[in-house]
Structure 1
Amino acid sequence: MTRHYPDPQDWYEDQAVGHRGLSPTRTVTAADIGTFAGLTGDMAELHTSETHAAATEFGGRIAHGMLNLALMHGLVVRGGRLVSSGLALLGWSEVRFTGPVRIGDTVQAEWETIALRESASRPEAGIVTDRVSLRNQHGEVVVTGTVTELVRKRPV
């Protein structure tokens, strides 16, 4: 089932391998890139200098890879994925930056549940793993990764 809105009943028991979801879209702005650069201290000229970036193979400024990962994660949250039931983000793995995100690009995240398992240390929770991708307005995948989260079980 594909959802485009938050679902507060995303308990561990509601999860199924093969479940897919799609987030709302978001347009990346120059202000997003500038804010991220200032927040992180990553002032690489590819992201902060139009003159420098114009002379690269990208032909202009692009968003930081880590900004794109953060946007992908945020869009999954905006899509309602495990918003009320999530206890902890356990980690991202297999992250790949496969294309640039340019100022003015509109991106959207999609996810598919690929694994479910019980938590050995938290009997009130389970572990959900999703494969996530970020696509631009042309349908090109620009980031992929796997996210694992600790998710509440329905109270007994």
Structure 2
Amino acid sequence: MAIFHWLVIQGGVPVKEVLSYRRCLRPGSDDKCGWCGIHVESIDHLFLHCSWSHHIWSALFNWWNVSWIIPSSMLEFSSDWINGMGIKAANFWSLIGPVTIWAIWLARNELVFNGVYSCWAATVSRIKLKVFNGSLTRKSVRVINFICGAFNLGV
């Protein structure tokens, strides 16, 4: 996921806009976002500005009671969440960004290549589970205690 995150920031992910620029799409091919069908599928649109992705980010920010304004680019956004978004569990939050980007990409590929539409709410649930599992892998007691508090598990 770290390499994929780096590719996103560098603009190297093969979204339709990038493929069109590299002339990998036939002239006249549809370059619109598979989720909204309105805007060109660019990296910033797919991961931040599409209404489908926006629902995911909003749900995750609401989960942490964090107010936010959508930045103009993935580079800006990455800088914010690498710095912890100003919340107590910066280490935990640093997992959410890459996991979310990866989950959006996998859901996008399911839609593009298999015609399978993923519900954004189900994607959020998968993200939360993967982040929780990632935090367990890191064996971070402070993060686990914070999570338990967030879920009112009373550890």
Question: Scaled by the length of structure 1, what TM-score is found?
Answer: 0.32
Relative contact order higher in (CA < 8 Å, ≥ 6 apart): 1
Q: Tell me which structure has the larger Cα radius of gyration.
A: 1
Question: Scaled by the length of structure 2, what TM-score is found?
Answer: 0.32
Higher strand share: 1
